[in-house]
Chains A and B, each alone.
Chain A
Amino acid sequence: MQAFTVLTGIAAPLPLANVDTDKIIPARFLKTIKRSGLGVHLFDPLRFDEAGAERPDFVLNQQPYRTAKILIAHENFGCGSSREHAPWALLDFGISCVIAPDFADIFYNNCFKNGILPVRLPRAICDQLMADAAMGPNARLTVDLPRQVVVRPNGEEIPFAIDAERRHLLLEGLDEIGQTLAHAAAIDTYETQRSAAMPWLPAIAVGPRP
């Protein structure tokens, strides 16, 4: 996984609440067996009309936001489906940080597995950052994970909170599975104890068809 340390770039304001994962990437684009190449479908219903032409009023169809690296939104971003295609599409488009007042739990989790940093900040601050982002190409934000601050174009620093364990994995770009497999002995012990305590727990084996 790509590590996340300090990111400076254009931020795109998306002043919508409850942006669901069907809006981030509709189900018809999930018929893939790959993680890559989903950026072209990011926000498809907002970005393109029925004929596939760009909707000029959508932020990511405007300069300078076509090269946005940061997205700022309102409450409950990423609600709905568990599809990891949503963070994959953001990342493939070039966005590796989303700032919002709060996130749906599964989307929030999925971000960390892909080197995307979701930052929770109060609504009033998100609105302030959106106003910054609306100032054009020179209004870049910096998101500094080691120092846990968002830096506004005027230099003001806004601190944010994040779990220590998640911060560590993201900063190092660590493979979480590899980290957990380091606990294999503990998992073995757990399994032995559990099957001794609950010998009735059945295993799944597909028998003949009924």
Chain B
Amino acid sequence: MPRTLFDKIWDAHVVERLGDGTCVLYIDRHLVHEVTSPQAFEGLRVAGRPVRRPEATIAVVDHNVPTSDRRHGIAESESRLQVETLERNVAEFGVPYFPLLDARQGIVHVIGPEQGISLPGMTIVCGDSHTSTHGAMGALAFGIGTSEVEHVLATQTLRQTPAKNMLVRVDGTLGRGVTAKDIVLAIIGKIGTAGGTGHVIEYAGEAIRALDMAGRLTVCNMSIEAGARAGLIAPDETTFAYIEGKPYAPQGEAFYRAVEYWRTLPSDPDAVYDRTVVLDAASIAPMVTWGTNPEAVAPITGAVPDPADEPDEAKRTALQRMLSYMALTPGQKLAGTPIDVVFIGSCTNGRIEDMRAAAAIAHGRHVAEGVRALVVPGSGLVKLQAEAEGLDRILLEAGFEWREPGCSMCLGMNPDKLTPGQRSASTSNRNFEGRQGPGGRTHLLSPAMAAAAAVTGRLTDVRDFS
């Protein structure tokens, strides 16, 4: 029977079938961070259980760490306690760890691929919903809660029921100024925030194949914003070239043996999907969200919808609530909307390619008066690479802040927050009410679009830049 990429990875990881469809599924890689793990380690301690496979586990701090100078520690006491608790736990349980001042520290979903820890054909989990990012490597990667973190630490498995298969095919080629971020925002706009519930999305088609790994990671990252359990992309030559030589990837002869296996993973030509969605890449414009969930999105050439046009009362009320929260008026053009803050970074867009895209727009320009623009590299290595390329100087000269790596203003757990009423242009993944700080208003967009917003002080079509 023909199988999809998801089916193949799933089948290869079933340890035992439990009767009603639930399987004990083996987990190859477990990424751990400071916010969703303390209660899990405490659970192990109370039950007297060890970590079954520390060598399949990697811990890092990212969610709550400050992005200013960190050589003198973390000022905020609760954040410091979480970081210290993780450090105590990794020492006690023997879990590999990249500490705060290590160059390899960074956002967990940036460092997994960067270090070659996340590889094709693997099952990868983390106590974070954006674990779907690693699906770009051709892996089955999904977010879990803290009880499941404890379950994986103790057993190296999870109890799971198989997902349905969904194919999202993006045909054709992207226009100038249109990026992976725009593709995934367009997909979410089309299928909705619950469009992928119960499914694993496989992204395919010419426009996906043409993406570099950074772009593929961006697309898979936001699978959860469509409600999908995971997103994945078949591994190909682009994937193998990216992995070769990464510190934790197989080396030498072992690498070629691995590639041989990885080539067997792509979906069989006649594999059947439960649902198929097709988009035309050429019709995708740079996208911007206008509401308080990622499906509330439109092309930058578009306008805010009018709730009066919505026949369903509950939906109309929800729409009115969104516009009121976002302080937008029905029919208002998106382009030209003034912004206060720009955030470039996150597990969605914190890689070196994203830094380059921002610097390309910033070069020779300056951040608009009254606008605060933060650039937060996704990892210490991204930061070093950007500095080696001189991107930090370009951005600093243009008036951007160049900060230390972490999740930062994506979720406002550290001091990088919006203040009530502030409007941001953000390369992150969620525009929920209060996500970037209580009362903050978020517009999601690509790094180039964010940089364009920074220098003009307004939501702007990046295609207007030469």
CB contacts (< 8 Å) of A17 on chain B: these are 314-315, 318
Contact B434 A181 (CB under 8 A): no
> Which residue of chain B has the shortest Cβ distance to A79 in the bound complex?
B193
CB contacts (< 8 Å) of B55 on chain A: these are 203-205
Contact A187 B19 (CB under 8 A): no
Contact A84 B159 (CB under 8 A): no
CB contacts (< 8 Å) of A176 on chain B: these are 147, 151, 159
The number of chain B residues with a CB under 8 A from chain A is 90
CB contacts (< 8 Å) of B255 on chain A: these are 200
In the assembled complex, A183 has its CB within 8 A of some CB on chain B: yes
Interface segment among A5-13, A32-40, A64-72, A143-151: the answer is: A32-40
> Which residue of chain B has the shortest Cβ distance to A184 in the bound complex?
B155
Contact A181 B147 (CB under 8 A): no
> Which residue of chain A has the shortest Cβ distance to B55 in the bound complex?
A203
In the assembled complex, B150 has its CB within 8 A of some CB on chain A: yes
- Bound together, the chains give a CA A165 to CA B159 distance in angstroms of 10
Contact B432 A28 (CB under 8 A): no
Interface string of B62-93 (1 = CB under 8 A from A): 01100000000000001101100100000000
Contact A50 B64 (CB under 8 A): no
In the assembled complex, A155 has its CB within 8 A of some CB on chain B: no
- Bound together, the chains give a CA A48 to CA B435 distance in angstroms of 16
Q: Given A105-B229, A165-B159, A206-B96: A27 and B411 within 8 A (CB)?
A: yes
In the assembled complex, B198 has its CB within 8 A of some CB on chain A: yes
Interface residue ranges of B6-33 to A (CB < 8 Å): 15-16, 18-22, 24, 26, 28-29
Contact A45 B438 (CB under 8 A): yes
In the assembled complex, A171 has its CB within 8 A of some CB on chain B: no
Contact B82 A177 (CB under 8 A): no
CB contacts (< 8 Å) of A184 on chain B: these are 155
- Bound together, the chains give a CA A163 to CA B198 distance in angstroms of 14
Task: Report the number of A-B residue pairs with Cβ-Cβ less than 8 Å.
Answer: 215
Contact B250 A200 (CB under 8 A): yes
CB contacts (< 8 Å) of B146 on chain A: these are 35, 84
CB contacts (< 8 Å) of B422 on chain A: these are none
Give which listed residue, A34, A81, A113, A163, contacts B21 with CB less than 8 A: A163
Give which listed residue, A18, A163, A177, A209, contacts B104 with CB less than 8 A: A209
CB contacts (< 8 Å) of B434 on chain A: these are 22-23, 26, 45
CB contacts (< 8 Å) of B103 on chain A: these are 209-210
Give which listed residue, A20, A83, A177, contacts B151 with CB less than 8 A: A177
- Bound together, the chains give a CA A191 to CA B13 distance in angstroms of 10
- Bound together, the chains give a CA A73 to CA B373 distance in angstroms of 38
In the assembled complex, A15 has its CB within 8 A of some CB on chain B: yes
Q: DSSP class of A's interface residues: helix, strand, loop or mixed?
A: loop
Closest 10 CB pairs of A and B: A113-B147, A33-B38, A84-B145, A200-B254, A110-B145, A203-B55, A31-B78, A82-B143, A76-B194, A84-B146
B interface vs A, CB < 8 Å?
Answer: 15-16, 18-22, 24, 26, 28-29, 35-36, 38-39, 42-43, 47, 49, 52, 55-58, 63-64, 78-79, 81-82, 85, 96-98, 102-104, 116-117, 127-129, 131, 142-148, 150-151, 154-157, 159, 161, 193-194, 197-198, 224, 227, 229, 247-250, 254-255, 257-258, 261, 293, 314-315, 318, 381, 411-413, 420, 430, 432-435, 438-439
26 residue pairs from A and B, CB less than 8 Å apart: A18-B194, A20-B430, A22-B432, A23-B434, A27-B63, A28-B412, A33-B38, A35-B146, A50-B420, A76-B197, A82-B131, A87-B145, A106-B143, A113-B147, A176-B159, A177-B155, A181-B155, A199-B254, A200-B257, A200-B258, A201-B258, A203-B55, A203-B56, A209-B102, A210-B103, A210-B104
A interface vs B, CB < 8 Å?
Answer: 15-18, 20, 22-23, 26-28, 30-35, 45, 50, 74-76, 79-84, 87, 102, 104-106, 109-110, 113-114, 163-166, 175-177, 180-181, 183-184, 186-187, 190-191, 194, 198-207, 209-210
A35-B146, A209-B102 known, 16 other contacts, Cβ within 8 Å: A28-B413, A31-B79, A33-B39, A79-B227, A81-B411, A82-B144, A84-B147, A109-B148, A163-B22, A177-B154, A183-B15, A187-B15, A187-B52, A200-B257, A204-B248, A210-B381
